[in-house]
A and B are shown apart, each in its own frame.
Chain A
Amino acid sequence: MNNFLLSALIFLPLAGSVMVLLLPSTYRDSFRWISIIVSVINLLNIISLYNNFDKQVSNYQFVEQHEWIRMSLGNLGVLSIDYLLGVDGINMPMLLLSGIVLLIGSISSFTIEYRQKAYHSLYLLLSGSIIGCFVALDFFLFFLFFEFMLLPMYFLIGIWGGERREYAAIKFFIYTLVGSILILIVMIGLSMSVKDSFFSQETGRTVHTFDFRQLADFKNYIAHSILHPFEKQMIFGISARLFAFILLIVGFGIKLPSVPFHTWLPDAHVEAPTPVSVVLAGILLKVGAYGFIRIAYGFFPDIAFQFTYIVAGAGVISIIYGAFNALAQEDLKKMIAYSSISHMGFVLLGLASLTVEGVNGAIYQMFGHGLVSAMLFLVAGVIYDRTHNRLIENFRGLSSAMPYFTLAVAVAFFGALGLPTLPGFMGEFFTIMGGFQSEILPNWVSMTAMLGIVLSAAYFLWTLQKMFFGTFWANRNQEGNMKDLDFREIVMLYSLSALSIIFGIFPSLIFDISGESVKAFLNGF
């Protein structure tokens, strides 16, 4: 069963990172090429995985398992941590998204001139840990990569960011670290409550495991352990499983980000350089959503079922609150950041509906939003590169000066606001349909969420109108700087546009992959 394709995905960027670090600075022009080549190889690898993915089964595929740490805990048994990788229908789309967005990010990094060696080394480190986070099937390994994304991200925002970069970087770091600590508590609790059924029998000792496959199965819970579903022990007056679930919701809610834990996101986005914003919005937010599906919902289905109101409520509030905030923004990048919060709310809604449509829609929305938000931040980056200014009111009538750019912007904006044939529509449609079909959620929840679509149409169209229509004008006499896209930008924006359209017209490219796994996932409820 062992093959090394998934490991290669993780270790190729890490090797690239070390290579960049070790090469002398005289090769500085080659660093960007190293990160592009690594990203291309990774993407090709991912596409081959995607092609070989068996859509008929819900199991984990391409599984790779090696024993990593075996610690004896005395009479408590053994703590077993494995190097365990694999993909199923839930993380395969995420893997594909990571491959695409990381490649776009590395192309976008071409313009970084300041301290390239450190930049590309950190960027590759980030790439490796993101992919590791998506393919890890061992909670410990997942957590490891989850934490490990923080450091390169902190430095990428803090060194190459805008004016208030240091503030934004430390805010990002602390928010996410608090979240991951809450997850760590649950991780310790889960591993102490679950035993590996196979190895426990074989060795005759209790083998505590972090294996996702074991954690998701109630049969493996140790009787009378604190997180056992039938255990009645209370923590601060609520049941232990509920407590753990709340910790997970907050932990992943910070990463997602869901209102009210979202305040780090606008700061981080506004200050981050374009490629980092692209990666942050395109993939990092999805790690939070992925954690929601795989860990919070996957391991605590009984609680999630009771908690569905709260999750759906958080989703709807994120949708509406994010949209209203986006309406009020004058800074293009901040507007896009708030729109991200709004669109990630749909993921929560779809997940909370616990229907096949809803959960598939949530996964699709994650994928689609990844493509679209990457485009949106590239758009903001294009304007910022030319003028060092991002205020919406400073530009008018860009369409006459930058026709190619305007076309890409139109695809991105319409994709985000949910025009049919573009990815935003499919995701929103299916999550809201899931919300209506759901037996648990009342209809007004989904109806309120639809208001979010209207609002997103409002702020995107207004922005489009203000910036791109009318007579051409740019503040501070910067009309001369407003040149149309260069080749590199065309490659990035148009390839993303093409992908958006393809995945928008053929959503089954994702649904076929996720379908079986989602069905199996929902069987647990």
Chain B
Amino acid sequence: MLEKLLNILFSSRVLLPDLLFGVVFLVIVAAIAFSQKLDAERTYVLFNVLLISVLISLGFVFYAFFGFYTQYYESGSVLFGKLIYLDSISLFFKLLVSIASVAVLIHVWVVGYKVVGEFYAIFVALVWGLFIMTMTTNWLMLYVSLEMVSICSYILVVFNKGKDNSEAGIKYLLFGATSSAIMLYGISLLYGMTGTLNFVGQEFTIFLGQNPTWIVQIAVFMAIGGLLFKLSAVPFHSWTPDVYEATPTPIVAFLSIAPKAAVILVLIRLFSSLSIDFRMIMAIIIMASITIGNFSALWQTNTKRMLGYSTVAHAGFMLVGLLATNTIGIQSTIFYITTYLFITLAAFLLIDLLALKTESYELESLRGLGQENIFLGLAAVIIMIALVGLPPTVGFTGKLLLFTALWESYQTSGSNMLLVVLIFGLLNTAISIFYYIKIPYFMIFKEPKIGVRYFQIGFIRNGFLLIFLFFIIYLFMRPSGLINLIESLKLA
């Protein structure tokens, strides 16, 4: 008994940032419950509380990552009786999630969204769920954290009450619940086969190997269904465009990167202990995601829908590194996600800043905005070519690393399937330029309807966007720092 208590006490000390979120969540809920009316001023206080807590946890993770508590992270520490596993790679992903949440909160502030107080409570719970998800090696904890993330996301999506919003929300809920159910079924199958809930261990690998391959493939596919749903990979992608269109942009920006990063980490862990050949199914998922995402995006006239489909395609690219099944593949996936973090947040910030002027997310409304504000036009070009993956942006480096890993894997295994994926992925890049370039195209080529009227969006907004642009270009010029950092992660 005492030993267990001591273990919990020890574990809690290591998990300070996570606990902080729990406390902040309770504080915000209490503040909302006990204050009579929540006017703008008090909401602003809540916002600050949240921002500061996220910043503190970011600082903490940062600090932990670079030396503090090294003894617990370096070799990975098992906490709470094997339910939670903390190592440097989960810290790195916590770092990503924290950066994304700070950026999104600043996005909310910069663009001037009026949000109700509950938003902050839900948001902090969402971040908390993601933090837990980065540390799961256990099916049960995975399911709990995934549901925590899902439920928070469902609520966030319907926060702006509107017709579209409810439709998107209910779609999201139904698809999410279905894929959760599929996932649960898959987990139960895997549990039946292996007799363990832990998915990173000798036991799991060995027992899994004793079953017929095709059954294991089906079970694993079902078990990762919920994860693929969060990743919006085909065939679990159909919620994406509607939700992206109807949801407030900062939330979409957050949903398009933070849950995906956490999910990818879980997939990295799962695949490294999978004894069966899962590459065929992965290859199909990847090719379907990239193709369906890109081709559907071609016809979109709404920028948010378009970016929604683009994230489907990017989900495919994120999985490419896992298909390569080698260390460099995993490293390049992590690199890709890190860079995608900056690119996608910048993309959503950009269209939100443009929408400030036009109050619309239609492509048609972007006419001539690049002529009226050259900085935004330039930013649009840089961000969109980064999404395509062209130099001189970090999008290119990310894709180059992914495909290098894939090539290496092809060279060692000689499996033609990998080469097909490689060529397929690269040619899809050429297709994707067609729709990405539409945004700068409308902004710069098309004449504005009523003459050119120059406008400014303000110093702080420009500066905030500039930070992202800086990273997009700087990481292309000097990727070594980030690569060395990723290399230093101990891969499970």
Would B427 and A178 count as touching, CB distance under 8 A? yes
B interface size (C-beta, 8 A):
41
Residue A509 lies at the interface, judged by CB distance under 8 Å to chain B: no
**Cβ contact within 8 Å between B327 and A173:** no
Q: Tell whether A233 is near chain B: CB-to-CB under 8 Å.
A: yes
Identify B487's interface contact among A74, A166, A173, A233, CB under 8 A. A74
Q: Is A225 an interface residue (CB 8 A)?
A: yes
- Interface size counted on chain A using CB atoms at 8 A: 41
B8 near A: Cβ within 8 Å? no
Report whether A71 and B483 are in contact in the complex, using a CB–CB cutoff of 8 Å.
Answer: yes
Chain A residues within 8 Å of B483, by CB: 71-72
B400 pairs with A233, CB closer than 8 A: no
Is B390 a contact of A147 with CB atoms below 8 Å?
yes
Q: In the complex, which residues of chain B have a beta carbon less than 8 angstroms from the beta carbon of A166?
A: 441, 445
The stretch of A151-159, A272-280, A306-314, A430-438 in contact with B is: A151-159
Interface presence of B385 (CB below 8 A): yes
With beta carbons under 8 angstroms apart, the residue of B408, B416, B433, B434 that contacts A76 is B408
Does B162 interact with chain A (Cβ within 8 Å)? Answer: no
Q: Given A177-B430, A236-B416, A74 and B437 touching (CB < 8 A)?
A: no
Beta-carbon contact of B484 and A174 below 8 Å: no
* B403: interface (CB < 8 Å): yes
Roughly how many angstroms separate A356 CA and B328 CA in the complex, as a whole number? Answer: 44
Q: How far is the CB of B488 from chain A (nearest CB, A)?
A: 10
Expressed in whole angstroms, the minimum distance between the Cβ of A306 and any Cβ of chain B is 22
* Nearest Cβ on chain B to A221's Cβ, whole angstroms: 12
A69 to B480, Cβ gap below 8 A?
A: yes
User: Which of B74-82, B241-249, B312-320, B418-426 lies at the interface with chain A?
Assistant: B418-426
Indicate if A482 sits at the interface (CB-CB under 8 A).
no
> When the two chains form their complex, are residues B444 and A159 in contact, meaning their CB atoms are under 8 A apart?
yes
Tell which of B381, B391, B401, B408 touches A192, judged by Cβ atoms closer than 8 Å: B408
Chain A residues near B404 (CB, 8 Å)? 73, 79, 188, 191-192
Q: Which residues of A contact B326 (CB under 8 A)?
A: 74, 76
* B188-219 contact mask (Cβ, 8 Å, vs A): 1 or 0: 00000000000000000000000000000000
Contact of B407 among A155, A159, A192 (CB under 8 A): A192
Kindly identify which residue among A159, A185, A191 contacts B445, using a CB–CB cutoff of 8 Å.
Answer: A159
User: Which residues does chain A contribute within 8 Å of B232, judged by CB atoms?
Assistant: none
Q: Please determine whether A185 and B422 come into contact, CB atoms closer than 8 angstroms.
A: yes
B429 and A181 form a contact (CB under 8 A): yes
Interface residues of B in 401-419 (CB under 8 A from A): 401, 403-404, 407-408, 410-411, 414, 416, 419
Query: A181 to chain B: which residues have CB within 8 Å?
Result: 426-427, 429-430
A155:B430 contact, CB within 8 angstroms: no
Given A71-B483, A158-B441; 17 other pairs, CB 8 A cutoff = A72-B487, A73-B328, A73-B408, A76-B408, A147-B390, A151-B390, A159-B444, A166-B441, A170-B434, A174-B434, A177-B429, A177-B430, A177-B433, A185-B423, A192-B407, A193-B411, A235-B416
Query: 23 A-B Cβ contacts within 8 A?
Result: A69-B479, A71-B401, A71-B483, A73-B404, A74-B326, A75-B327, A76-B326, A76-B408, A143-B391, A144-B391, A147-B391, A150-B390, A158-B445, A170-B437, A170-B441, A173-B433, A174-B430, A177-B433, A185-B423, A188-B404, A188-B407, A192-B408, A236-B416
Measured CB to CB, the residues of A under 8 A from B are 69-76, 79, 115, 118, 143-144, 147-148, 150-151, 154-155, 158-159, 166, 170, 173-174, 177-178, 181-182, 184-185, 188-189, 191-193, 225-226, 233, 235-236
Q: Interface of B with A (CB < 8 Å)?
A: 326-328, 331, 371, 374, 381, 385, 390-392, 396, 400-401, 403-404, 407-408, 410-411, 414, 416, 419, 422-423, 426-427, 429-430, 433-434, 437, 441, 444-445, 478-480, 483-484, 487
